[in-house]
Structure 1
Amino acid sequence: MNTSKIIADLRTKKGMSQTDLANNSGVSRVMIGKYERGEASPSIEAAKKIADAFGVSLDYLVGEGLNSTFDKKTVKRIEEIGLLDEEKKSTLFDLIDTYIRDAKARQAYS
């Protein structure tokens, strides 16, 4: 997925107008429109402002990298899991594995 589509999709998903995104990011509405139409690519600085306005990482905004599918809240949770002691991590991973297994089973039978 390209950055222009990601920006447009995120904006729609968040219920924001281009003006809302411009106001929240400090990037002009005209440039937001150009980014969404693929007429221009945001600079790193503009991309960072847009990512911050959406609450996502730069990886997510450009659709590349290890964290490209995670928003900032998810990345923060993963970082915090890494700080837990091994016993608590093991318990948490068992719980996550159970939820994943159940979701896959429901999906297989639907």
Structure 2
Amino acid sequence: MLSFGQRIAVLRKNKKMSQTDLANKINSSVSVISRYELDKMIPSIDSAKKLAKELDTTVGYLLGENEENKLKKNPEMLKRFEDIIAFDDQDRKYILYTLDALIKNVKLKSIT
């Protein structure tokens, strides 16, 4: 399991950002980013939120609470979830039943 600092470093490098780039984006310094990545310093909640936003992930992922770094970050999927949540219980039940059937169908197709 990656540490907080390792997660920041990996995500930053995946985005082809330097420590300077990241520091500038969150109004910090290169030395602070370096200390985060070396796990010598833990950011404030506000700084962790800024890091997550700039690295296109969640604070939960950075903290190791989940392993999905893009969990719930896809705007198209979020919009769909919001629409489904707004429906009444019966409509939501039908939509989820249909969605489950479609997902199962695709998974079975990929097995064969």
TM-score (norm 1): 0.69
1:5-20 matches, within 5 Å, as 5-20=6-21
Larger-Rg structure: 2
Per-residue deviation, residues 20-61 of structure 1 (Å, max 9, x unmatched): 211111121211111112222222222122112224332122
What is the identity percentage for the equivalent residue pairs of Structure 1 and Structure 2? 33
Greater than 6 Å deviation, 4+ residue runs: none
Within a 5 Å distance, the mapping from 1:68-87 to structure 2 comes to 69=68, 70-73=71-74, 76-77=78-79, 80=82, 81-87=84-90
1:101 pairs, out of 66, 86, 104, with 104
1:18/1:29 contact within 8 Å kept: yes
1:22 alignment partner in structure 2? 23
Say how many residue pairs are matched. Answer: 107
Which consecutive unaligned segments of at least 5 residues does structure 2 have?
none
Q: Is the deviation greater in 14-23 or in 90-99?
A: 90-99
| Contact in 2 for aligned 1:27/1:50 (Cα 8 Å) | no
TM-score for both structures, normalised by structure 2? 0.68
Distance 2:48 2:65 in 1: 13
Change beyond 3 A, Cα 1:63–1:84? farther
Against the structure 1 CA distance between its residues 82 and 51, is the aligned structure 2 distance closer, same or farther, given a 3 Å change threshold? same
